[in-house]
Structure 1
Amino acid sequence: MWTICGMADERLMERVTVLFLFSMFVAASTYEDEHLVERFERPLGEIMKLEDEALKSDAAKVRVESALKKLAEQNGGCRRYKLVNISSGTRQVVDGFNFEFVVEVESVPTEKCATEQPEGISEVYKITIYEPSGTGREKRHTFEKIMHGQS
């Protein structure tokens, strides 16, 4: 009889332990006011808007400035592009990451083509950056020049 009760106590303790560990997981997985269920409601591949803090981060600036160097190469090296402001951005998890930024830049002629336009001009671009997962795969950049106020 005692062995039956002992086994029942062991099973109860296992269940209590599992419940306790699950509770700790839930507590550790939530932060600030975000509930566990809300964190996992977003389907994979959903396009998520980047918050102001993320737009002003060094990581965002590095991504955009690297893309602007590619834009200068695509334009024959006649202009360089200085980042003025990152207006908005999104991120999407796919087989890697898709980032889309709307940025204001100052387009300045280089010495190579200084006669093209003597002074810098303000331009707005929508920049898409695809960063594939895995090693040995190159980033892809696309650029769309847009009118001021359009995004």
Structure 2
Amino acid sequence: MSETEIALATLSPDECRALLVTHRPRLGRLAFVADDWPLVLPVNFAVDGDAVYFRSAAGSKVAAAARCERVAFQVDHVDEVWEEGWSLLALGRLHVVDEPAELARVRRLPLRPWAGGDRPYFLRLDVVSVSGRRIAWP
């Protein structure tokens, strides 16, 4: 097969949401501006409805959430053997979860940080748009 036979397809919003829910490991990248510079950090995540949740220690993510910053969240999958994969981008505003009923619900989600240390803050990304692409051999 030649390079021209590789197919690049746009994923529908529903396909993107399905990938967010089913993708393992639940690892993505949260992008936002901190101290006037772009910052992209790896994060574990869980999805509930149209929201994506993260846990965090105090720091730049919590500060961005406290300001309800506009952020980007990116997740991808790469098959290195077949040189195929997909990537999706969710845009929205980041919030600190502080309402007791929502906190109780979020604590039951499969949201376990890989990094050590205390992660007492729960953050919610209210997704306003999601887009993605898949690259694969036909």
Given the two structures, how large is their TM-score scaled by the length of structure 2? 0.30
Larger radius of gyration: 1
Given the two structures, how large is their TM-score scaled by the length of structure 1? 0.28
